[in-house]
Amino acid sequence: MGILCLLLFTESLIWFSGFSVAVDTVNASQSISDGKTLVSSGGTFELGFFSPGNLPDRYLGIWYKNVPVRTVVWVANRNQPIHDSSGTLMVVSTGNLVLLNQNRSVVWSTNSTEQAQTPVLQLLDSGNLVLRDDGNDSPDTYLWQSFDYPSDTFLPGLKIGWDANSSLERHLTSWKSPDDPSPGDFTWGMERSNYPELVAWKGSSKYFRSGPWNGLRFSGAPQSGSNPVFSYEFINNGTEAYHTFAVENKSELVRIVVNQTSYLWELSTWNEDSQSWMLFLSVPKDYCDNYGLCGAYSKCLTDKLPYCQCLKGFSPRYPDKWNSNDWSQGCARDKLLGCNDGDGFIKHTQMKLPATTNTWLDGSLSLKDCRTRCLKNCSCTAYSNSDIRGKGSGCVLWFGDLIDMRQYPSGGQDIYIRMSASEIGKSMQKLLITVIVVPAIGLLAAMLTALYCVFRSRMNYGERTENVTEVIEKEGPEDDLELPLFDLITLAKSTNNFSTENKLGEGGFGPVYKGTLVDGQEIAVKRLSTLSRQGLKEFKNEVTLIAKLQHRNLVKLLGCCIQGEEKMLIYEYMANKSLDAFIFDPTRGRLLNWSKRFHIICGVARGLLYLHQDSRLRIIHRDLKASNVLLDAEMNPKISDFGLARIFGGDQTEGNTSRVAGTYGYMAPEYAIDGLFSVKSDVFSYGILVLEIISGKRNRGLYHLESNLIGHAWEMYKSGRSIELIDVDSVDTCTLSEVLRCIHIALLCLQEHPEDRPTMSYVLTMFSSENALPVPKQPGFLVDRYPRKESSSSSKVESLSANEVSFTLLEGR
């Protein structure tokens, strides 16, 4: 009897005290009043009454139990707060929930029509509040659940979409403000169509859309569908269409929130170390994410200006408006469709598929049958695969205007847009010119070049108009280059007379060709342009320097050729060319998993350490960048292009110059502005290179941001969101702690003042150690803080884009 009394006393403490305990269920004989809470069995979520901000109004909601800053994931009475602490939640015997105020008036209730014998309310560890019938043999069958009526938060296991059988339309709605959980302006849900997709509305207007799910990802997403944090699933079986997601690590707290701010949709994870929510993904990401920005039949590109461009075969509908950056009216066809009279299709790649409001879907048709089906319908304007896994399958047709397309450097998918016979003919004509005429002209040019080379070589063979000692400016009398000399005929034969087919690329020095010697050895021939006086200085400098350097992370110089007007450097051939051809390329970037990227990061660091400290000369490279890091067949990095390098002697560690030369976007601030260079200016360039390797983005290629990559990385670091920098092509394979450490080290290298930056020896120590790292100071943003000076002449222009331009300033400070 005493034990029974003790149990009754304990139960009364549970339900009538102001403390929460690990009780996750309530039956029809119990209630929850203000001040009492329900806690899920695993202790993850808690249900009770709360007041947002400092307001007196009370709401019934669910929040994370162990997150210090209360993070609410669901609210019952969003539209009708209780103005005091009199609220009571009750389970009605018929199988419904009711929320009562002081007057015992119903403030909120569920709408279950099913009768229950033994109704029980339970808070699950998923955050789902469920009402079930204990008398039912199916415990997973619910009379009602909060997951069917979400607020602003998308939790793992929750479904966003619609169910025809239950007439449910599950969507998220933002809070009006951080202190007001009533519905705000933004709604996120599944748009009903034959080819459903997630859409965000601002009021009644479309604001953003994800693009339809294509089996791997949203077509409107540049990244792959998989990542180390969560995995998506899309179900569309005719009666039900929804998106849901699962967390890979069940112990992680992950949520997606629809906001009333510019970051409409945010996916964040709880970080125990910083005791804060760490943002992982957010949309909209850039200007092109604005729905319908470019109107019909156009595509949006963030790496070009203007952002909007008409598709091939289309022109601006209203040119005056278009030229004034009002693209909303879109583009119109240059040639009207003939409907089955020779119409064809032009393939567009890496696209966000158009809005799917007017579409038709058949998951069983092949792409070939899909094309035929589209041609048979005069209203069909485009077709694509509905599932791109494997070789592609399923068919989706578009009818009417094509709206809200964009093109990605990676991701997206192919779409075939219907065009008139005349436009298809025009495209075929251009293709024939490319395939037949251009090679013919190239062959003729190669023959003429070969004849010229034979003539010149016979005139000059055996004669050297310039002696090596006359060309190369030696640094001291003790220097003995012992560098093999190649004759012009040998190099002409090895490169197929310097044919365009053998051309590997071109820099400010001149073109680089691939060659094969008689013994089968592959070489790279760097040929000085006869028009480049700057190139002559670089040539002399590079021969002087690199002949003395031997390191596995420096490109090896095999010899040179100085014959007549020809001056060439012969290097070992790098099978994978330069690093920029991988990290900035949407296709080849997928070949670089994180271990390879980290291997390259460390290899470049070792090469720089050798230049700065371990070689018999102290050398500052002055032009370290992705295009000057070459990759051999095993993806080992080798620093190249020493045309701008400077030798220091003894204990000298810095210098200045009135000739600032290098690549804009990689130069340290003190060098770009005042001509001051040191080993620490190379460290700054290295920091940028590390960020580019991690992110797959150029330092000056983030047009949708107000800052460059440095500024973006700094903002992400300060807000605990550095994970957002990781390139989607390596995110699946990365060790998160290792990547975050690399980002931290890169920011240390990018600090504004040279004395704050680490040496390369310390950088390598930090990579191999697990000790705590120093806190970085604000970096030298360069692009923002130091506008580019106008130069009176420019050499080494390697790209016409704003991303990477090498230049020389003839005026120092």
Closest-CA residue to 96 (of 169, 28, 15): 28
The CA distances from residue 214 to 141, 233, 234, 730, in Å, are 31, 11, 9, 21
Neighbouring residues of 523: CB distance < 8 A, sequence distance ≥ 6: 494, 514, 515, 516, 517, 558, 570, 571, 572, 573
**Angstrom distance (rounded) from CA 140 to CA 151:** 22
Rg (CA), the chain: 33
Burial class (CB within 10 angstroms; exposed 0-12, middle 13-18, buried 19+) of 550: exposed
Pair 528, 568: CB distance under 8 Å: yes
Query: Mutual orientation of helices 709-718 and 736-749 as an angle, nearest 10°?
Result: 120
Query: Mutual orientation of helices 594-609 and 679-695 as an angle, nearest 10°?
Result: 170
Instruction: Tokens 């007001």: give the residue.
Output: 180
Pair 62, 158: CB distance under 8 Å: no
Sheet with 168-170, edge to edge strand ranges:
168-170, 160-163, 240-247, 230-236
Instruction: Tokens 């020779």: give the residue.
Output: 342
The neighbouring-strand residues paired with 618 are 648
Cβ-based neighbour number of residue 17 at 10 Å: 11
Strand locations in 34-87, DSSP E? 38-39, 45-50, 59-64, 72-75
Pair 806, 663: CB distance under 8 Å: yes
**Angstrom distance (rounded) from CA 774 to CA 295:** 49
The CA distances from residue 220 to 209, 327, 353, 371, 724, in Å, are 8, 20, 7, 22, 18
286 is catalytic: no
Closest-CA residue to 278 (of 254, 258, 262): 254
Neighbouring residues of 347: CB distance < 8 A, sequence distance ≥ 6: 414, 415, 416
Distant-in-sequence contacts of 242-246, Cβ < 8 A, 24+ apart: 242/159, 242/160, 242/161, 242/162, 242/163, 242/170, 242/190, 243/159, 243/160, 243/161, 243/190, 243/198, 243/213, 244/156, 244/157, 244/158, 244/159, 244/160, 245/154, 245/156, 246/156, 246/157
DSSP string, 158-218: --EEEETTTTEEE-EEEEEETTEEEEEEEEEEEEPSSS-EEEEEETTEEEEE---B-SSSB
The neighbouring-strand residues paired with 233 are 244
Q: For the chain, how far is it from start to end, CA to CA, in angstroms?
A: 95
**Angstrom distance (rounded) from CA 368 to CA 393:** 10
**Angstrom distance (rounded) from CA 207 to CA 191:** 13
Closest-CA residue to 673 (of 689, 694, 658, 652): 658
**Angstrom distance (rounded) from CA 136 to CA 279:** 42
CA angle (631, 635, 639) in 5-degree steps: 35
**Angstrom distance (rounded) from CA 524 to CA 486:** 13
**Angstrom distance (rounded) from CA 526 to CA 23:** 75
Strand locations in 8-44, DSSP E? 25-27, 31-33, 38-39
Pair 612, 679: CB distance under 8 Å: yes
Pair 71, 64: CB distance under 8 Å: yes
Selecting among 34, 152, 404, 623, the annotated active-site residue is 623
> Catalytic residue positions?
623
